[in-house]
Structure 1
């Protein structure tokens, strides 16, 4: 009976209002134009507090084939039951890009659930800017009474990964379509009219109509699937269990031709992992299936709350650009995010799968069970899931040392962004975040990586029992509801107060509000001669001015864990901008090191004498210093030099000890920081002596891995050693260690002789492909191109840009815009070519010449355009390049795109800074460090591969949509 009730409106809808395109503008109804824009409720982005939703009945029918107009569409109907809280004559409900069926000239039907009939509808219209369906009434709704609003609608099943979208892939030569959803943060309104704010929680009853040969999945377990006839075609209709009370952005449904792995053995929770049938058959989903159960048990214990649903579905979807999304009970991922095959996937792929799985699973409680009140506190959801993803993965993969890897990745990801005057606080005032554009801008490295690091710092200075008990109390009070950061601080403080002997120098909220309500972070300076300590806001450009004031005058309460000569000392708290701590005075050869294990979110500077003693210690016995702090010293030194707080030669001298270093964390940090020098100098005569110095540093590492892998015939046993093997080969080939070039070219030619048997280990494929193509010629490039046509490989997409041959790079750029080569994405390919010094100018010219084509391809405000501008201009450091940037920015075809114009403005600022910085670095005085002075050269240095092998870096702080 329920299916028939839900199906009837769709049968009616399929016969009416089906011509033409989708409605995107407000149109008059009843011959009445929408009211003139004013400061009315429908002109504000936030919903009024007069109505609260209780539950929805939603039926949707996605079409997996084009209609007579050449479009992929979906049709549907929705009934929302809501309670009137305050007297009002207005129903505002979010709607975006939906075309509505009209009844008696109106877009909706309003009726009573209890009490008398509601007032008649006066007029309805679509308010496009603020994305509302506006229903104006002839009288007022009665507080305390419930009403229901029925609508029928049609939308486009677009390929933009928003709302209800289509995902495409080929099975042989056949194009296959998947209908899937991604609602976060404000795209549920593109699927059906709804109160689309996180605090407007409700229960959802979902029914999905889908084609034969497909399955339907949603948040709840399937209740029933029946055969029905629609427009003369036989289809299926699947209904699902009602959801728990939850926010609109967590709703999900998928219609696809997929298979799954399944277990019913875990505490009555059914765990399923879905993917294309061939991936299930070959075992690519096995690892995700294997770790989900243990992670679920771990989080249930940690949160002290059983997973509240009957099933936990996860599905891998094409394309690779689809971000993971924590929909409650149906988590969606890209195939590249969670599928892992031992014979062709790298250990990085395995780690990425585990950490992403853990990140999304952590959200089932922190985000889904208890949800933020408004998007201005997004960091609380995402930062916590980032931190928990590493804790969770560390339990299921204890040998990986995930927490240190999280710190490395997060620091490299966020510390630079958060040291710019344009940064923002973790928690932004609500009034600053209202439009969808403002909300989407919050999904950045600050929210994810800084949020994770700040919560890691909090958990580090709180006793473990306090952190877990406070969190459990928080979840218990706000289950199925909404809360904010102040609620979390309150419960943590309560747990602290109940713990005998546990105390802090200030209340939890006093400490933590300084880290979340002001942007940036401090640099703590310690003078070991006097014991003086000070802090100040760290800015990469010391002359810049933050674009916002701080409620705490940029002063933090800083926990300082430190050691003296390798011996940990009692933790010290820096409560003010300056202080004195007698214990931090040193004598003779003593050295001190602050921020042990990088537990605090700050940088550290020292007096010159302590810096010198630290460098001596690194050169004599670096293992006395914890490995993560060896990485910290390198990163702090380079960034303090960029901020003109220490001499750049001191930063460069911190790399001298690397000839003795074999661990991944310091090498990855060094390579990331040295990459700036490659970018600035690989087109100058400074590059040759720089290559010579780095060759001396990396050759011992290269020989070390040759030895422990039995002359490259085995993989290192350690997880991070496998990463560092990639660094050793990548950097050695990059600085022209001849044995490295022979090694990679030999592996590649062996593959060329037997194309069906690739001898290159998956971990090494990108770096071997790239450097072999770089060292080879046209034959190697054409073989790589043929392999790309036969096997979709992101490694090869990147590696083909490594050639030194300009004509091959020009051909590759042209291919990127040819629709026949569907495996290539133009913006990605152009960006890859630009990272190659031989392709930099070619990519820049190609982008300018084909700008209009790119705009037509992606849309004028597409993020891809901003990103390709960033990549192509990253190396710019001359007056001529700055002039070209200004000319391009003034082009009318560019000025019509606000995001592109902004990206070019940022590029111009970065280029100006590079111009100013470049000569100063080249002329810096030396002190037994790497040579930087230009030397007369008989020939220009060989062109090198694109930048650092970023493919080797772990992903533990996730910069994704979720």
Structure 2
């Protein structure tokens, strides 16, 4: 495999003759034939091609632009309306595309609230094709919306780079455009930039011209037909490395001096591209695929799937040899796999409107999980599907949930659509349906979907029809049940005595909720797989609210065997006793699934929460590392419910430490030769959790290693986290000095996060004040305040609201409506519910308060758990001790 380092000029020259596959002329999802696609713009004018030239002024944060848009007027109209934000138009001219006829000069009107610009003519335009030429100026931001600047420290001083982030509706900040996913068009982009800086866009550069005045003009090859939110531009002091994968140049771009830290991402991307070319049955259609690293961060996203030019923040792309962990390495691969999946699901075929965002995000989440497990079996990440499902169910179990296919009306609602339902529930539903129809039939359906809708836009049923046709199974009703209505099925299961080597299960379907105990349950057709250890797996569909199933074997029977189903399982007490007794006989994935069900059902009051502690006691020390990692996380969460009650918390911590300490003693602090990768991950999870639980041995050892600077890369972040959590004023100042002196952005950002992770309230207050200064960097401030909220939610929320106007400038606009309520998520103060609602009513549009309502519901639920569930845990602890 050939790997090369190339300069900006070499990239441009090497790509001068690059071409891209054209969109098929008979694209079935062309917006011109659609009468149902949502739009916020008039339908009478549609774009065909954008020819854009920009001159960004990085230091003054301003932009000069010229856009010539080829467009079709479908019916006579006196005006053309498109999207634009913070733009001033100095000229506008409309000419027939044929070149014949008089040029027209329209009046320009800008509606800042609607985010539109309207060009009005003296008389109606006749239907036909035209070219609208616009000269305009715009703004460069300091948060990840539109075209934005990132400042970062290096050994050679402070530098600034520019990047774009257009999803979901921010292309309109750089280009006047029809900024909606169904309005696909082709793009050519030209940028005039400082000579010597590297420029990156979706396509390779087609021409580069040194203008002789310290600037260079770079023109990129024409893009395929795509949505505006997928356009990308970046310029800065970068390096690039590249390799080849099936005729595609796969590259990584990073700040100068850091390119070696991106090589794992590059190699992973090449491997994933080969896998996806095969899986989708449609080859990646662009000549190159870059992954561009940026310092800093966002409260909205970590990476973005721009077609041919994925954007990823450094913390999710680079592996710094001084600080990166095994978990970081797995995250780099998983995120790359997710974003590359979007090159097909999202870029080649795009949802018609944000209602079906899950077609992008749910599928990419599932595809990344599947591909990570296939290409890196040594990581044993298959159990991760259970944790992903739990993330969805935690969100889906409260009244403020929504269907996977959701109704979106506004830009702000679209921003809030990027949540656990869209990503994790979407992924879980796909996992379940693939298990139902079979992996081969599922893949055939996906391949047909790609071929049928390439370069077009779709809705969910376009996918379902292809899957059903390929499989021959009636899955459409099941798909609709799980995507068109919200919530989680709950199967109450009773079992007969084993007879003739078989057990008969009886199912009653209800609905699992955390905050509506008397709710009339919805109905689902639920695919069920049940199995006893070592026995044959059997399947059924529970519909109409009830069902039965005969299962071979007399041991403990697991419902949802293999954990592909999206539902909760509530076992009868006698059946749960069997599972508890035979827990070690279950497959690891079923152990994890059972534990997660018992955890959720216990905290919701549907069975004793102490049943979870019984399973913890039943888990052997040598269980799958991911089981113990999950236990550590759950015990940490329970500990937080005891916050403020020192005596009860101390008793719980004695139990929790007694369970986790022997596991850490078994694997040790230091990595061993030939050690499995999951063990490396577990080590960091155990040290972090035991430190949070106040284990003196762990805290003292972390402090010793910090003082002696005995922190190998795989443990450095973990050791520093324990030290920072328990820091006194002197230690905090030492960490602060290290952050100020650090010249590597990836490490510097981590240190500022650590400063915000102390349990000392006074030091947390200092971190909050520091976050509002310029010192941490413009995109790190909001993250610092969020880090404070993990241990001090009330302190962080009150501070953020008190400084809201100042903090708004440090939070990307796509995140604001959910950022502030999210700070309060871990509060146990009843007064917080009113505070969240007061914030929302004052600062969030009435139709966009879902995030605030969810945060309020979570706080209410946490208070209920603390009040109603902890007594049962206390009684169990008093009886069983440690």
Q: What range describes the TM-score normalised by the shorter chain of this pair? A: 0.7 to 0.9
Counterpart residue number, 1:350:
329
- Among 533, 537, 541, the alignment partner of 1:569 is 537
In 2: Cα distance, 1:853 partner to 1:131 partner: 21
Q: Is 1:415–2:393 an aligned residue pair? A: yes
Number of residues paired by the alignment? 831
Matched, 1:645 2:645: no
Write out per-residue CA displacement over residues 166-215 of structure 1, whole angstroms, 9 at most, x where no aligned residue: 22212347332222211112111111221222221111111111112212
Among residues 430, 453, 477, which one is paired with 1:478 in the alignment? 453
Q: Quick one: distance in 2 between partners of 1:448 and 1:793? A: 30
5+ long unaligned stretches in structure 1: 1-43, 67-71, 103-107, 498-503, 547-552, 752-758, 936-962
The verdict on how the C-alpha distance between 1:50 and 1:559 changes in structure 2, with shifts beyond 3 A counting, is: same
Alignment-derived partner of residue 426 in structure 1: 404
Residues 148/535 of structure 1: CA separation in 2 closer, same or farther (3 Å cut): same
Aligned-pair distance for 1:45?
A: 5.4
Verify: 1:515 aligned to 2:477, yes or no: no
State the match for 1:940 in structure 2.
none
In structure 1, which of residues 291, 295, 298 is the aligned counterpart of residue 275 of structure 2? 298
Tell me the equivalent position of 1:629. 590
For the residue of structure 1 that corresponds to 2:257, the secondary structure is helix
Could you tell me which residue of structure 1 aligns to residue 681 of structure 2?
723
Q: Does 1:395 align with 2:374?
A: yes
* 1:819 matched residue in structure 2: 774
Q: CA deviation at 1:544?
A: 6.8
- Is contact 2:756–2:768 with CA below 8 Å preserved after alignment? no
Tell me: CA distance 1:253–1:863, structure 2 relative to 1, closer, same or farther (3 Å). Answer: closer
Q: Secondary structure at the match of 2:223?
A: coil
Match in the other structure for 1:148: 131
Whether the aligned pair in 1 keeps the contact of 2:832 and 2:859 (CA below 8 Å) is no
**1:617 equivalent in alignment to 2:582:** yes
* Alpha-carbon distance between aligned partners in 2 of 1:315 and 1:438, rounded to the nearest angstrom: 28
Compute the displacement of 1:118 (Å).
Answer: 7.3
**For residues 667 and 236 of structure 1, what CA distance do their matches in structure 2 show?**
56
Match of 2:652 among 690, 694, 712: 690
For the residue of structure 2 that corresponds to 1:93, the secondary structure is strand
| Residue 735 of structure 2 corresponds to residue 760 of structure 1 | no
Asked if the contact 1:266–1:293 (Cα under 8 Å) also holds between the matched residues in 2, the reply is yes
Query: Structure 1 residues 260 and 166, CA, compared in 2 at 3 Å: closer, same or farther?
Result: same
Q: Give, in whole Å, the separation in 1 of the partners of 2:374 and 2:59.
A: 45
- Correspondences of 1:39-78 after superposition (within 5 Å): 46-66=40-60, 72-78=61-67
Q: CA deviation at 1:408?
A: 3.6
Determine if contact 2:110/2:117 at 8 Å carries over to the other structure: yes
Aligned-residue offset at 1:661: 4.8
CA distance in 2, matches of 1:840, 1:157: 32
1:772 paired to 2:723: yes
* Residue pair 2:93, 2:104 contacting (<8 A) in 1 also: no
Does residue 803 of structure 2 align to residue 851 of structure 1? Answer: yes
CA–CA distance in 2 between the matches of 1:907 and 1:493?
38
1:266 and 1:813, CA in 2 relative to 1: closer, same or farther beyond 3 A?
closer
Tell me the distance in 1 between the aligned counterparts of 2:881 and 2:271: 57
In structure 1, what is the Cα distance between the partners aligned to 2:172 and 2:790? 39
What's the counterpart of residue 946 of structure 1?
none
Equivalent residues in 2 for 1:196-211, closer than 5 Å: 196-211=179-194
CA contact (8 A) 1:157 1:164 kept: yes
Q: Deviation at 1:889?
A: 6.8
Q: SS of 1:159's equivalent?
A: coil
User: Do structure 1's residue 124 and structure 2's residue 108 form an aligned pair?
Assistant: yes
Q: 1:131 to 1:515 in 2, by over 3 A?
A: same
Structure 1 segment 660-679 matched on structure 2, within 5 A: 660-679=621-640
Answer yes or no: is the 8 Å Cα contact 1:421–1:544 preserved in 2.
Answer: no
- Classify 1:167/1:397 alpha carbon distance in 2 versus 1 (closer, same or farther; 3 Å): same
Give the TM-score normalised by the residue count of structure 2: 0.87
Shift in Å, 1:794: 4.5
Match of 1:539 in 2: 513
Q: Distance in 2 between matches of 1:184 and 1:240?
A: 21
The correspondence for 2:826, drawn from 863, 874, 891, is 874
Q: 1:512 deviation in Å? A: 0.8
Q: Sort the Cα spacing of 1:663 and 1:823 in 2 relative to 1 into closer, same or farther, 3 A.
A: farther
1:829 corresponds in structure 2 to 784
**Equivalent in the alignment of 1:36:** none
Give 1:605's match in structure 2, choosing from 565, 570, 588.
570
Distance 1:137 1:512, change over 3 A: same
Contact map agreement 2:202 2:306 (CA 8 A) in 1: yes
SS in 1 for 2:303: coil
The aligned residue for residue 229 of structure 2 is: 249
Whole-angstrom CA distance in 2 between matches of 1:804 and 1:313:
41
Instruction: Give 3-state SS (helix, strand or coil) of 2:182's partner.
Output: coil
Q: 1:750 & 1:358 partners in 2: Cα distance?
A: 38
Alpha carbons 2:145, 2:813 under 8 Å: kept = no
Deviation, 1:844, is 6.4
CA RMSD across the alignment: 3.2
Residue number in structure 2 paired with 1:79: 68
Please tell me whether residue 368 in structure 1 is matched to residue 326 in structure 2: no
Q: Taking structure 1 as the reference length, what is the TM-score of the superposition? A: 0.80
Aligned equivalent of 1:950: none
**Contact 2:84–2:175 (8 Å) recurs in 1:** yes
Larger radius of gyration: 1
Counterpart-to-counterpart distance in 2, 1:908 and 1:242: 48
Shift of 1:427: 0.9
Q: Does 1:177 align with 2:157?
A: no
- Aligned partners of 2:476, 2:310: CA distance in 1, in Å? 33
Aligned to 2:14: none
Deviation at 1:394, TM superposition (A): 2.8
1:653 alignment partner, SS class:
helix
Partner of 1:37: none
Worse-matched range after superposition: 768-777 or 597-606: 768-777
After TM superposition, give the deviation of residue 122 of structure 1 in Å.
Answer: 6.2
| Between 637-646 and 793-802, the greater mean CA deviation after superposition | 793-802
Q: Is the 8 A contact 2:279 2:443 kept in 1?
A: yes
Q: Secondary structure at the match of 1:285?
A: helix
Give the C-alpha shift of residue 277 in structure 1.
1.0
Structure 1 residue 261 and structure 2 residue 216: aligned? no
Contact 1:170–1:176 (8 Å) recurs in 2: yes
Match of 1:437 in 2: 412
Q: CA 1:161/1:803 → structure 2, altered by over 3 Å: closer, same or farther?
A: closer
Contact 2:782-2:811 within 8 A present in 1 as well? no
